[in-house]
Amino acid sequence: MVLVQNYGLAVFLCFVAMVCWGSWQNTQNLIGKEWRFELFYWDYSIGILLFALIMAFTFGSFGEEGRSFMPDLAQADPKNLLSSALGGFIWNIGTLLLVASISIAGMSVAFPIGGGIGWTLGILINYIGKPEGNPALLFGGTAVIILAILVSMQSYRKLAVHQKKPSFKGIALAFAAGLCIAFFYRFVASSMATDFSPADDGKISSYTAVVFFSIGALLSTIIVNPIFMARPVQGSPVKFSEWIRGNSRAHLLGMLGGAIWCLGNSVSFMSVGAASPAISYGLSNAAPVVAALWGIFIWKEFRDAPKGTNLLLTLMFAFYLVGLVLIVYSRFA
């Protein structure tokens, strides 16, 4: 299997994860608003699992280091497989809420709020689980990110008032999403082997962890998504038959979105050993910066925003970038 043991490479892969986690939602925007997020999410979940299996049987099975996917699965302690699956189940509920928020508020709002809350709480949770890195810089960066979240909320409120639409539901859904997303990483990271020594017997590789994470996410979709379809956050109820009748382009773009997200998930967990869970999570989850860029400059979600909104958005980006630099540097201080 392919292992990451260099901190510089781990940081690079975390930036790859950041781009993937901040970009996958573009596939739904490419499909169009007529394809509801509840329908998109079925293909998205399938795409995540398919890509996880591809990674497990390629990068997770090649090379001389560590354990290949099938031998790793054979020696795994069931509680570690369950922990990874539970992480996927919890994450998926949060992401469903996030996608629902995006359908109301847009990428440039839902990601900075939901992703930002998940980011800051997740750093704290993962640091408690494995305290590595300079805490002053790590949590100083987290505090700056909280300022970015508050500025993002204010920018959306200004836009909502200007467009005479309610702002509370979009923010509330994003906030609930962040609370769920914050907890998933620790469940998965705690199940993983670090150096594959005898002390790690029963622990699993990042590739195996991502596969069972993806199984948990798909199971969560099967249980939770029908509730969203029957009681949607906006619009009329959606029937499963609508998904079956969907065209191949919609299905393929949905699965592509899942594959993009899973690529980010895979490389982020590959980096845990070299960068520590808190730092790996903190860097990878800078995705709100990327998502906000897509939403503002490509999808023009703030083109009708009132005067003063651009200043708030500039401050949001500045706070996010300062927080990101502090998190990266916390490993060296």
Do 16 and 264 touch, CB atoms closer than 8 A? yes
Q: How far apart are CA 103 and CA 87, in angstroms?
A: 24
At residue 7, the pLDDT reads 84
Rounded to two decimals, the pTM is 0.86
Which residues in the chain come in under a pLDDT of 70?
Answer: 156, 162-167, 199, 333
At residue 130, the pLDDT reads 81
At residue 167, the pLDDT reads 59
- What is the secondary structure of 97-108 as a DSSP string? HHHHHHHHH-HH
Extents of the domains making up the chain: 30-329
Alpha helices in the chain (DSSP H): 7-23, 26-31, 37-57, 69-75, 78-105, 107-110, 116-129, 135-163, 168-189, 206-230, 240-244, 248-270, 272-275, 277-284, 287-293, 309-329
Q: How far apart are CA 55 and CA 51, in angstroms?
A: 6
Q: How far apart are CA 137 and CA 202, in angstroms?
A: 34
Do 245 and 42 touch, CB atoms closer than 8 A? no
Distance of alpha carbon 16 from the chain centroid = 12
Nearest 5°: CA angle at 141, between 140 and 146? Answer: 95
Q: How far apart are CA 155 and CA 170, in angstroms?
A: 13
At residue 99, the pLDDT reads 86
At residue 315, the pLDDT reads 92
Over residues 254-287, the pLDDT tens digits come to 999 999 999 999 999 998 878 777 778 777 777 7
Residue from 153, 111, 87 nearest 286 by CA: 111
At residue 233, the pLDDT reads 86
At residue 163, the pLDDT reads 66
Over residues 8-21, the pLDDT tens digits come to 898 899 889 999 99
Helix (H) or strand (E) holding 148: helix 135-163
Do 170 and 109 touch, CB atoms closer than 8 A? yes
CA dihedral 309, 312, 314, 318 (to 10 degrees): -170
Task: Record the tokens describing residue 63, joined without a space.
Answer: 């090379």
Query: What is the widest separation between alpha-carbon atoms in the chain?
Result: 62
